[in-house]
Amino acid sequence: MPEQTDFVTLIDQALERFGQRDLVSGAEVLDFLLDLRLAVIAADAELEALLEQERQPTG
């Protein structure tokens, strides 16, 4: 499961990439936001799977 630091790293990389520009295309921002969204969804799905495992009675 991605750690919080993975999300922060993704955001920091985008800040570096976009922060040096006067103009940023909407497509680039959209790509970044979609990447961030996918990372969050993947983390949520993995967390839900782990929680479901914990809910199952053991033997």
Query: pLDDT digit string (tens) for 9-51?
Result: 888 888 888 788 788 788 888 888 888 888 888 877 777 777 7
Structural domain contains residue 4: no
Structural domain contains residue 9: no
Structure tokens at 35: 């990447």
Q: How many domains does the chain have?
A: 1
pTM as predicted: 0.51
pLDDT at residue 1 is higher than 60:
no
Whether residue 37 contacts residue 7, with contact meaning beta carbons closer than 8 Å, is answered with no
Structural domain contains residue 36: yes
Q: Which residues are CB-contacts of 7 (< 8 A; sequence separation ≥ 6)?
A: 36, 39, 40, 43
The pLDDT value given to residue 59: 60
Q: Which domain holds residue 35?
A: 25-59
Confidence category of residue 2, pLDDT binned at 50, 70, 90: low
